[in-house]
Amino acid sequence: MHMADALVSPTVGGVMLAVSAGAAAYSVYQIRKQDDFGEKKIPLMAVTGAFVFAAQMINFTIPGTGSSGHIGGGILLSAILGGPAAMLTMAAVLTIQCLFFADGGLLALGCNIFNMGVIPCLIIYPLLFKPLLKKMSYGRITGDSVLSVVLGLELGAFCVVLQTEASGITALPFSTFLLLMLPIHLAIGLVEGIVTGAVLSYVYSARPEILEAAENRSKIGAGVSVKKIVTVLAIAAVLVGGGLSLFASSNPDGLEWSIANVTGSEELESDGSVQASAAQIQESTAFLPDYGFADADESSAAGGTATAGIVGVVCTFALAGGVAWIISRTKKKKRAALHSQL
């Protein structure tokens, strides 16, 4: 559901970037205000961000449609990290994808962060997922995951349609586009919900304290080790990004499929000067465009995809972990300053 710049006007792109930046600032404020961000959140933010990056490379076929989809990951991140930390992690994932792999437009980055980060992490998670999961069990985790992911994806898809409408994209009539976007993302959401439930069920079986800490907005206990979870997710991220990504479906994703069914083409042409400038910036920063080597032939395509997967996992690990480290360090300095005044 990564929007390209051709779908967004400069005004809508600017407004949504401001909204998403505000949501990121709010997330930082919430983390700094609460005493639930311990040292153990640093490796968890890093590794879950890397895992979601890798998982988003796996497009799975939606039978009978000619379309495909990939997980969003917002609910998965929120259940492990809490909503605010998950929002910042998702922003890191989407920024890496945009700048280094040209996945999602630069002008549309604010829209993508809002649709795939703000909605699941700051709206669906606190208002639906958490209230439904007061008493944890494997069945509740799976059912809650499916319901929350589906609703989050449907709301995100609806916002994509609203953003294109507000941008004056006449090639995508509101009602026609909406009637394609919602059903296909319902199907994608059902698959993602099951995957999310499976991953969270594993975390619950191995370290239930991690999910409980996110649920209660408390620190992970001093006696609780997260090494096993971090190690397993790190290995999974590398294997998925560098190996399983080679078997991803080549069918267009839900957004591209919807656009193609309206216009006859999976992509729209952008003709604005702002879009052209944004494209030039992306061309200079994206060293592995479309998750592969530039101008690669078929013989080197697999190597390019595997390389992109590994590089993306490492970059996302570093950025998400770096954000977590900076927040943790500033919280420590704040506490030290308060103690020195006493």
Rounded distance between C-alpha atoms, residue 232 and residue 287, angstroms = 29
CB 81 within 8 A of CB 120: no
Judge whether 44 and 323 are in contact, CB under 8 Å: no
8 Å CB contact between 263 and 171: yes
Q: At what angle do helices 74-81 and 138-166 cross, to 10 degrees?
A: 130
Delineate the domains of the chain, giving CATH numbers in brackets.
5-341 (1.10.1760.20)
> If pLDDT is split at 50, 70 and 90, which confidence band does 342 have?
low
pLDDT of residue 338: 64
- The pLDDT, as a whole number, for residue 299 is 67
CA dist., res. 138 & res. 202, Å (int) = 9
Q: Which residue did the predictor score with more confidence, 25 or 135?
A: 25
Least confident of 125-129, 146-150, 214-218, 277-281: 214-218
Residue owning tokens 């980060």: 117
Helix-, strand-, coil-residue percentages of the chain, each rounded to 5: 75, 0, 25
Mean residue pLDDT of the chain comes to 93
Element housing 168 (H / E): none
pTM: 0.95
Helix 83-101 to helix 41-55 angle (10° resolution) is 50
Give the DSSP per-residue string, 186-207.
HHHHHHHHHHHHHHHHHHHHH-
Alpha helical stretches, state H, 34-137: 41-55, 74-81, 83-101, 109-113, 130-132
The pLDDT tens digits of the residues spanning 292-333 come to 998 777 767 889 999 999 999 999 999 999 999 999 888 777
Please report, as a single letter, which amino acid is at residue 222. A
CA distance 169 to 181: 15
Residue 161: φ, ψ to 5°: -65, -40
With a pLDDT cut of 70, the percent of the chain lying above it is: 97
Give the model's pLDDT for residue 341: 65
Characterize 15-50 residue by residue with b for buried, 16 or more Cβ atoms within 10 angstroms of its Cβ, and e for exposed.
Answer: bbbeebeebbeebbebbeeeebbbebbbbbbbbbbb
Give tens-digit pLDDT for 133-187: 888 899 999 999 999 999 999 999 999 999 999 999 999 999 999 999 999 999 9
